[in-house]
Homo-oligomer: A and B are copies of this chain.
C-alpha cells in the first residue's frame, strides 16, 4: 500500500487510492526545498491559498522556492468559523480573476481550515483541478491534509458541504511547527493519540512515555509522531477512500466531538480539543458496553491529561447533544453509527449498541 523512503531526515510515504497515488513528504526545511517543490507541484499557474496568520510567516518562503511560476495568492481569514461556503467563493473568485485553467494547481498553505477550503475549491473549480497540501499545523500534518476529504461548514453542521478530492501531494515541513501556539500543538496531538487508540497500541504506549518530548517540540519525536500517523492514515485511506467501512474508525471521538464544537459554535474548542473530549466519552461508552476494561479508560484519560487536553464537555444537556450528533454525517437508516474501542489499538464501527449506556454517557458528560 505504501513505501517509506528516508533521505536526509525527510520521510516520504505514498498513499494509494486505486485511481490515484500521491506522496507525503515529512521533514524539516521542505518549504524552501526548490527541488522537492519542482517535483511535487505541477503546472505553470498556481494559486496559493493561505490565511492571515500563516501567510506572513511562510508565504514568501514558498514564493521564493517556487520562483519561475505564475503565482497568485488568496489570503483568507483565520479560524474554523471562517470555514464557510463564502470563503470557498473567495477562492473561486481568485481562480477566475487569475484566469486559471484546468492545468493550474492550488497550493494550500496553512492549517486544516485552509486545507479543507482550498481542497474543496480545487475539487469544484472547473469540476476539479490539482491541489497540493502544505500543512503548517500538527493537526493538518497528521490528519486533514491526507486522505482527500475536503469541505466547508454550514451553520447547521460541520463539513456538511464538501467533496472527496485527493491531493496531488502533501508536503509537511516540520519547521513550520516552531511557530505553532502550544494550544494548537496539543490539539494536533489529540489526533495522534487517536491513531494510537484505534490502530496502534505501540504508538499509544510510545506516546505515554514521550508526550513531553512532543510538547517540547523535539524534532525527532515530532517526526516520528507525524510519520507514524500519516502511515496509519495512508493505510486506512488506501483500503477505503470513501469510508464505507474501514475509514470510519478514524472518526473515533468525532461524533461526540462535532457535537461539542457545534454546541459552542466552533468558538470554545479547537477541533482536536473537541475530539479529545469525544474520545474520552467514546472510551467511557465502550467500557459501559463491556467492550473494554475500565483500566483502558484510565490510560486514555491520563494520556489526554498529560497532553494538556481538555476532558470536560460543555454542559448543554443530553437532548441538545443527541440532536447535534444526529445532524452528523454518520447517521445511516436513522441510526447513529459510533466508533468504539475493542482495546488500545483496535476499534469497531457500528450502530448496533445498547441505547441505555449511550444515554448514560450523554447525561453524564453533557447533562
Contacts and interface: CB of A to CB of B under 8 A. Distances in A.
A92 to B, nearest CB: 6
From A89, A125, A126, A327, residue with most partner B Cβ within 10 Å? A126
Contacts of A149: 127
Interface of A: 85, 89, 92-93, 95-97, 99, 101-103, 123-128, 149, 151, 154-157, 159-164, 326-327, 329, 331-333
A95 B327 CA distance: 11
A164 B127 CA distance: 6
Contact of A96 (B123, B128, B157): B157
Contact of A332 (B99, B101, B329): B101
Report whether over half of chain A's contact residues are helix, strand or loop; otherwise say mixed. Answer: mixed
B96 A85 contact: no
A155 B92 CA distance: 10
24 contacts: A85-B85, A85-B92, A92-B154, A95-B160, A96-B154, A96-B156, A96-B157, A96-B327, A101-B329, A101-B331, A101-B332, A102-B329, A102-B331, A103-B332, A103-B333, A123-B163, A124-B124, A124-B161, A124-B163, A125-B160, A125-B161, A127-B164, A127-B329, A128-B164
The 10 closest A-B pairs by CB, nearest first: A96-B156, A101-B331, A126-B329, A127-B162, A124-B161, A96-B154, A92-B161, A127-B164, A85-B89, A127-B163
A155 B93 CA distance: 9
A82 B93 CA distance: 17
Contact of A160 (B92, B161, B331): B92
Nearest to A45: B334
A127 B126 CA distance: 17
Contacts of A151: 124, 127
Contacts of A97: 156
